[in-house]
Amino acid sequence: MSSWLTAARAVGVAVAARHAADVDRHARFPQEALAALKEQKLLGIMVPQSEGGGGASISDIVAICYALGQSCASTAMIYAMHQIQVSCVVRHGVRSAWHRAFLKRLVGEQLLLASATSEAGIGGDVRSSLCAVEEHAGRFSLAKEATVISYADDADALLVTARRTPQSTGSDQVIVVVPRDGYSLERQQPWDALGMRGTCSHGYRLAARGESAQVIAVPYADVQAYTMLPTSHLVWSALWLGIASDALAKARAFVRAEAKLKPKVTPTGSLRLTQASILMQAAKSTLAASLRQYETALTSEDKLATLAFAVAMNNLKVGTSQTAVRVVGEALQICGLAGYRNDSPFCVAQHLRDVHSATIMVNNDRILANTASLQPALREDPDFLA
Ligand SMILES: Cc1cc2nc3c(=O)[nH]c(=O)nc-3n(C[C@H](O)[C@H](O)[C@H](O)COP(=O)(O)OP(=O)(O)OC[C@H]3O[C@@H](n4cnc5c(N)ncnc54)[C@H](O)[C@@H]3O)c2cc1C
């Protein structure tokens, strides 16, 4: 186990879990957990060692997200979203002096990065923008009606998608790194949601400006396909399974208590617990295999660009989000009223509310429609374990 995972686990158990209910009740930013993660220097671990970071792999981040998901879903989601942004700058900003300097600052000051991809008028289609970057004399400005920016009030920098120029088509996009002193936010829609309440995902009118060098030169299409999409689906899946795992732990504790009461009778919930464990085992195996697939593909852009890779990453997201929701539902069924009551140690109400964000956080129907359109071009894989 990495020392990063040990530290993150300790933050999860000692800090994030302790404040999770209050964060949820007041829909507030999990400041205690994020302060502890910063104190442990866990925000810059994915930055390469050449820029002062820890050079952590995506596997390290996935393991941390799974651990945090068991303690506080909002903390885990914030950490995951931050690392998604970091991975984009690390992989695609490496040739730019501005972005390398920014990464050094990120490590030194433990900057928290947030994402402004969603936009009013385009729904959840991240591969299309209405707003545009306007450049003049080495500087840029842009204005965006951002329907959702999680933890924007507590972030130190944003990654914003926009059309490359005002003349560009909707899909000719770039992504821009904007530190806190380069943008203003006007809150439009407050975040009072079913779950993931601590992500504080309010809607904002965003105005940003800065040096043209802050725009990542690589087309956003590539940033999204090679880094943002696979990283998102891997780290999200990890934390959703973390939520499910904690719910299952409660269900197991409930079954154990039942068994103690009536030692000669197998508790009714045991069968359901077994079935839920099978679902979890399959989902975790898929996540581990997808992780391996991504780490192998990272060595070659050709592999990252294949349809099979894109479909595998989409299938991972749709599959784990569905499984996580199902497993938490099974945990509720096992615990019964004890799982339903907010005042019970077996309560899975918050797990249930938080985990339901999984299937709509980039809507599964949208992803399925996208994968469905690729089916005629796909081939069955003739090899297994080759
Ligand atoms: C907890 C949480 C945190 C988030 N944080 C951020 C953040 O920090 N930054 C950010 O930018 N975004 C964030 N988002 C937004 C997220 O990434 C998606 O953009 C958003 O969930 C999609 O919203 P939607 O359902 O309104 O849009 P859509 O995906 O457009 O879905 C709307 C409806 O259209 C249907 N639909 C499905 N497929 C299609 C299709 N092909 N064409 C048209 N309609 C279709 C869907 O079924 C659905 O009924 C967050 C979301 C959540 C839940």
Residue that the structure tokens 């690729």 belong to: 374
Residue-wise pLDDT tens digits, 80-89: 999 999 999 9
Looking at 205-219, 229-243, 367-381, which range is the least confident one? 367-381
CA 246 – CA 224 distance, rounded (Å): 31
Please give the structure tokens belonging to residue 199: 């992500």
User: With a 6 A CB cut-off, is 355 part of the ligand 1 pocket?
Assistant: no
pLDDT tier at 1, thresholds 50, 70, 90:
confident
Which tens digit of pLDDT belongs to each residue from 350-366? Answer: 999 999 999 999 999 99
Domains of the chain, each with CATH number or no CATH: 3-112 (1.10.540.10), 114-214 (2.40.110.10), 220-377 (1.20.140.10)
The pLDDT assigned to 162 comes to 98
Among candidate residues 270, 261, 143, the one with its CA nearest the CA of residue 208: 143
Angstrom distance (rounded) from CA 269 to CA 152: 42
If you average pLDDT over residues 128-152, what whole number do you get? 97
The predicted structure's pLDDT at residue 205: 98
CA separation for the pair 336, 333 (Å, rounded): 5
What average pLDDT does this structure show over 100-123?
Answer: 96
Q: How much of the chain, in percent, has pLDDT values that exceed 70?
A: 100
Instruction: Write down the H helix ranges in 306-381.
Output: 307-335, 337-340, 349-355, 364-374
Helices (H), 177-300: 220-223, 229-261, 269-297
Q: Using the predicted structure, report yes or no on whether residue 264 has a pLDDT greater than 80.
A: yes
**For position 386, what pLDDT does the model report?**
63
Q: Which residues pair with 163 in a beta bridge?
A: 132, 173
- Identify which of 81, 350, 365, 370 to mutate to test ligand 1's pocket (most ligand atoms within 8 A of the CB): 365
- 186-231 residue pLDDT tens: 999 999 999 999 999 999 999 999 999 999 999 999 999 999 999 9
Average pLDDT over residues 291-305: 91
CB atoms < 10 A from the CB of 25, how many?
Answer: 12
Beta strands 173-179 and 183-189, pairing class? unpaired
| Residue 124, pLDDT score | 83
pLDDT tens per residue across span 332-354: 999 999 999 999 999 999 999 99
Contact present, 40 and 51 (Cβ < 8 Å): no
| Residues of the chain above pLDDT 90, percent | 93
Phi, psi (rounded to 5 degrees) for 56? -65, 150
The pLDDT of 105-133, averaged and rounded, is 95
Mean pLDDT in residue range 27-56: 98
Query: Ligand 1 in contact with 74 (CB < 6 A)?
Result: no
Atom 41, ligand 1: which residue's CA is nearest?
366
The residue type of 85 is Q
For residue 95, the CA-to-ligand 1 centroid distance in Å is: 32
Please report, to the nearest 10 degrees, the dihedral formed by the alpha carbons of residues 349, 355, 360, 365 taken in order: -110
Q: How far is Cα 319 from Cα 342, in angstroms, rounded to an integer?
A: 29
The residue nearest atom 36 of ligand 1, judged by CA position, is: 366
Establish whether residue 121 lines the binding site of ligand 1, counting it when its CB lies within 6 angstroms of any ligand atom.
no
DSSP 28: -
134: how many CB neighbours lie within 10 A of its CB?
Answer: 15
pLDDT above 80: residue 185: yes
Tell me, using a 6 A CB cutoff, whether residue 148 lines ligand 1. Answer: yes
Distance 297 CA to ligand 1 centre (A): 27
- Residue pair 84/235 in contact by the 8 Å Cβ criterion: yes
The residue whose C-alpha atom lies closest to atom 37 belonging to ligand 1 is: 366
**pLDDT score, position 385:** 73
φ/ψ of 126, rounded to 5, equals -70, -15
Q: What is the pLDDT of residues 267-296, one digit of tens each?
A: 999 999 999 999 999 999 999 999 999 999
Per-residue pLDDT for 38 more than 90?
yes
